[in-house]
Structure 1
Amino acid sequence: MNLWETVTGSDLTREWKAFEVRAEALPADHRAAWEQVKAHLFPYSGFTGRNLTPILDNALGLLEETAADGQDVRDVLGEDIAGFCAALAGGEGARSHRDRWREQLNRDVARKLGRLGG
């Protein structure tokens, strides 16, 4: 990846298009699970989303393998896709955008209160 791709995000666009092409080949139930996986993983992305690329690639690979083996998607991912995605992102303690923003807000408020009170 060169500087231009980093700045413009063209590398991410290519990868997302490749993911979607691969997902189109999945059976309907696996494709629906893919959409849910993307939706549940998105809150764990960094500013650019580059941190999710390998996770999404592996999740899509798992869906492709299970579809090829004829396995039911619920047997592989379980009933709790949000929990599955949290585990993929680093466990139940994985921080989402909301968690990071809340922590930043709390730090900012504490800093302001410290300046006003002291």
Structure 2
Amino acid sequence: MATESNEEKGRYLRYLEVITGSLDDKRRYREYKARVRRLPENWRTAVEALERYLMHFGPMDGAGWISMYEDLADLVERSVADGTPVRDVFGEDPVEFVEAFMANYPAGRYRARERRRFTDAVRRAAGEAPGTEDEAG
């Protein structure tokens, strides 16, 4: 009986995850959000702004998205503990920071590769030589 019950529960959870997405990722995201709520106000403001940017321009599904958020929380928590100012982490151009940060994750590498392909295609169409990886970002 217990096997049948566990098997049915497992089947139900697999079906639920098909509909809602990974329950483990949802748990990890809630834990991440709790970490953000514990940050000092200035850091929380910066992280929430970065989250908003990622909602529009970053990966929200697929491999690595939750790891990216957890790594962000790690970085910010260490910075708070070390007394590092917000500007020292995010720099003068926060968009440059977030784009470099995203480039370390699968979706960010995909975006960089597609930007490079697009730039090279336009260069070829214009009769120019394709650029280097560094030029197209």
Same structural fold, with TM-score higher than 0.5 when normalized by the shorter chain: yes
Aligned length: 97
Corresponding residue for residue 67 of structure 2: 54
Say whether the 8 Å CA contact 1:5–1:11 is kept in structure 2: no
- Give, in angstroms, the shift of residue 88 of structure 1: 1.3
Match of residue 45 from structure 1: 59
Structure 1 residue ranges (4+ consecutive) displaced by more than 6 angstroms after TM superposition: none
Is it true that 1:11 corresponds to 2:24 in the alignment?
Answer: yes
- The unaligned stretches of length 5 or more in structure 2 are 1-12, 119-137
Structure possessing the higher relative contact order (Cα contacts under 8 Å, 6 or more residues apart): 1
The equivalent of 1:95 in structure 2 is: 111
Q: Percent identity?
A: 30
So what's the TM-score if we normalise by structure 1?
A: 0.66
How far is 1:49 from its partner? 5.0
> Under a length normalisation based on structure 2, what TM-score does the superposition of the two structures give?
0.58
Q: Indicate conservation of the 8 Å contact 1:86/1:94, yes or no.
A: no
Task: Tell which deviates more after alignment, 34-43 or 20-29.
Answer: 34-43
Q: Decide which structure has the larger Cα Rg and report it.
A: 2
